[in-house]
Amino acid sequence: MRAAGRTCLSPKTWARIAADAMMVNGAWASALVVRFIFEIGIQGNGPPQNVLMEYVDEYVASVWLLTLISVVVFYGSGFYTRGRYYEGHYKALVVAQGVSLSYLIFGFVSFFLRVGVSLPRSVLFIGWFLTCAELIVARLWTMIWRAIDDREPAAHGPNITRQGTRRVLVIGGAGFIGSALLPKLLQRGYEVRLFDLLLFGKEPIANLAGYSNLEIIQGDFRHMDKVVRAMKGVDDVIHLGAIVGDQACSLDEELTIEVNLIATRMVAEVAKGSGIKRFYFASTCSVFGSNEETLDERSVVNPLSLYARSKLASERVLMPLASDVFSPVILRFGTVYGLSGRTRFDLVVNLLTAKALADGKLYVFGADQWRPFVHVDDAALALTNAVEAPIELIHNQVFNVGSNAQNYQLRDVAQIIRSLVPGTVVTEQEAGADFRNYRVDFTKIARVLEFVPQWTLEQGVTQVIAALKRGEVPDYRHPMYSNVTFLSEEHNSNLMRREMGWAVDLMNIKTVPLDTGSTVSAAS
């Protein structure tokens, strides 16, 4: 098990480093061969055997230095940490810059160390050119292969198996994040079992009807007998089921505790008892509440709402269940935006975008408050990366889900929307009942799970605008697009209560910092 925050490189990263090192070695050897052929074949300098031995000696003496410098520079350039610019549209330019810097440093250092000083300068140029070409072509080929691979399901039907018969149970999979996650799992060939109450019907997953590797079970995950049956033959459990959102949770506090906390513990205990090794739990960055610092997984939490407290209490219940054969994994999602099978317009980005289009006016409460944003499709991608990660990387770990580049103040969000909906009038007002204010560090998930968001906030806003203009959302104010509005009308007849017991005390969470920077909880 790895301690949270510990710096390490995944096996995939080491493999990429080794591959780049071999390409640097190969390019440098090729450059010497090219120069050798030129010197012997055209210039006719000396006996071939003597010249060859000189070049071999120079290669042995210099290649280690070039390789070491290159790997360090490549790492610093974001080749393996997948920095923002490396993952952007200018990857080839970043690679060329990294290689150029490596050769400049190599030339400078080798001159003072007297390494390879007898080599013609043309060898450096040839080596630089070949190294650039090899690294860029290798990455271009990888991108092409991934693009072809990702399109295979659409081209050949939805039932292509790439991961064997591994079965994943997704609880609450017809919801906002779940309806974005299911296609990713199905297209990768997983056997997916969806367990959901289907309060919003089957429309959120209607586009998945053609997948034979999808099984749908309609039911309430608070019923143990149904949960036990749903987990038969399952390898992984992804638990997305919950009452989500501050206002929705405040409608009925007892019900929220029952659904978000008591049922979560029961589901996890059934999973552990059923021999399931991996249990992924959807939590929230709202557990941070209000804090002026940039927060990582070890930072002190400060939940301000019942929703956040219920999620944090669930984390506190799940983590002690970890064992050699059971791995809970906590994913704290940032503020989600964008469209999925079950789109929501009670989320700040989607709601403000819709209001800008409909009314031409935005009222921003607490404009200086910070939030970390993540597109719903990227939230699903993070879950997929976690499912596919080696178990030793995720065992009993907490991951913040989002990107450092998408920490925004609410006024920034409003300005982005105004730039995409010209003429929108933005009015800033004092914060209302929501006092959350937090920036989050997402370095861990980028490093450990190699998670790179594919969406920007601007792209997400553009997506929502296009859907509204096309009429795909007839009325964003309809209850089906809002958890709190929908539950206000439906929850009394559709949801039942149970005794709270131990959960009421656990919900009264206080946090105190440890010397290591982690937290412990105590009942007040």
Nearest to 33 by CA among 138, 132, 114, 127: 127
Task: Quote the pTM value.
Answer: 0.66
CB atoms within 10 A of CB 104: 14
- Please write the tens of the pLDDT for every residue from 334-353: 999 999 989 989 899 999 99
CA distance 47 to 156: 60
C-alpha torsion angle, residues 181, 185, 188, 190 (rounded to 10): 180
Query: 40-50 pLDDT, tens per residue?
Result: 766 556 666 77
Query: How far apart (Å, rounded) are the C-alpha atoms in residues 274 and 520?
Result: 29
Q: What is the DSSP string of 450-500?
A: -------HHHHHHHHHHHHHTTSSS-TTSGGG-HHHHHHHHHHHH------
Residues, the chain, total? 524
pLDDT tens track for 97-121: 889 998 888 888 877 766 554 566 7
Q: Quick check: helix, strand or coil at residue 191?
A: strand
- The CA distance from 46 to 332, in Å, is 68
Q: Where are the alpha helices (DSSP H) in 77-120?
A: 91-113
CA dihedral defined by 182, 185, 189, 194, rounded to 10 degrees? -40
Averaged pLDDT for residues 8-28? 81
Least confident of 190-194, 265-269, 292-296, 462-466: 292-296
For residues 317-331, give the mean pLDDT.
94
Q: What angle do CA 315, 320, 322 make, to 5 degrees?
A: 100
Between 123 and 471, whose confidence is greater? 471
Cα 447 to Cα 431: distance, rounded to the nearest angstrom: 35
- What tokens appear for 278 in the block? 């991996």
What single DSSP character describes residue 326? B
Residue 477 token pair: 């104010």
Q: Are 185 and 192 in contact (CB under 8 A)?
A: yes
* Contact of 264 with 283, CB cutoff 8 Å: no
CA–CA separation, 338 and 415 (whole Å) = 17
* Phi and psi, residue 410, nearest 5°: -60, -30
Average pLDDT of the chain is 81
Burial (CB count <10 Å: 0-12, 13-18, 19+), residue 324: exposed
Q: How many CA atoms lie within 13 A of 76 on its CB side?
A: 11
Q: Residue 155: is its pLDDT beyond 50?
A: no
Predicted local distance difference test score (pLDDT) of residue 159: 37
Structure tokens at 137: 């072509």
**pLDDT tier at 468, thresholds 50, 70, 90:** very high
